Amino acid sequence: MTTVLKMSDVNVTFTSGWGRRRTRSRAMKDVTLEVEAGRTLGVVGESGSGKSTTGSVALGLRRPDSGTVEVLGRPAAERGRALRGRVQAVLQHPHWSLNPRRRVGVSVREPLAVAARRLGREEQRERVVRILEQVGLDAATADRYPHELSGGQRQRVSVARALITEPGFIVFDEAVSALDVSVQSQILELIRELQASHTFGALFISHDLAAVRRVADTIAVMRHGEVLETAPAERFFTDPAHEYSRRLLAAL
């Protein structure tokens, strides 16, 4: 099986403030994680535990102080070159990736402009329609503006935008956290279905263990920047190894 994310002994420390007020916080401590092709690693933990930092390091957006990060067999820092279009992200708020003044079809097509420049206009348009249909939206959605859609529809658009370049690896960071429970459920189901047909590996980050449970094959628990436990989902939910994991499960 091929590995799409291989993170070894990654450390990230943030410093903030000046002079005597200068403080350091270790957002990632010797983090080691792997995501396999076609599989989902769920990362759970309370707010501030280092999940989003882990996501941005995996996306090559933040360079760690130490450790190595390989995505699809290349250093994550190559995001702008060899990995262009091969790695995508779906974030909590669709408005972070959807321009409110642009029609949905334009936003969905946008990643193709850098990743598949040679595709003709007509071919690009066809791809947009096809991907919108795959995320459960009709072709006419392409002509709508984000504010004309519901929260769930907007998040489907974000998923379409992430998928259009056929990435090998996708980072979902709190991708369903802003949605109502019933809409969350639909989007989680959609992610599962799409993974079966598109075979991307995923890092699914959420503070919500119930959401992670719906999509993850493997679970990693983070606290204070550390991975406390990594386990196959089945085993994690029946027999967690760490005391802290047991507490998270009890709260579920």
Ligand X SMILES: Nc1ncnc2c1ncn2[C@@H]1O[C@H](COP(=O)(O)OP(=O)(O)O)[C@@H](O)[C@H]1O
Footprint of ligand X (CB under 6 A): 14, 16, 25, 27, 45, 47-53
Long-range Cβ contact pairs of 190-198 (< 8 A, separation 24 or more): 190/135, 190/136, 190/156, 190/159, 191/40, 191/159, 191/215, 194/134, 194/135, 194/159, 194/163, 195/38, 195/40, 197/134, 198/163, 198/166
Residue 45 binding target from Mg ion, ligand X, none, CB below 5 to 8 Å by type: ligand X
Question: Counting contacts by CB under 5 A, is residue 153 touching Mg ion?
Answer: no
Question: Counting contacts by CB under 5 A, is residue 54 touching Mg ion?
Answer: no
Residue 16 binding target from ligand X, Mg ion, none, CB below 5 to 8 Å by type: ligand X
| Cα–Cα distance, 75 to 137 (Å, whole number) | 35
Only one of the segments 19-27, 35-43, 44-52, 62-70 lies at the binding site for Mg ion (rule: CB under 5 A); that segment is 44-52
Between 62 and 127, whose beta carbon lies closer to ligand X?
A: 62
Sign of the dihedral through C-alpha 209, 213, 216, 220: positive
Question: Measured from the CB of residue 54, what is the shortest distance to Mg ion in angstroms?
Answer: 9
Question: Counting contacts by CB under 5 A, is residue 155 touching Mg ion?
Answer: no
Chain residues that interact with Mg ion, rule: CB under 5 A: 51-52
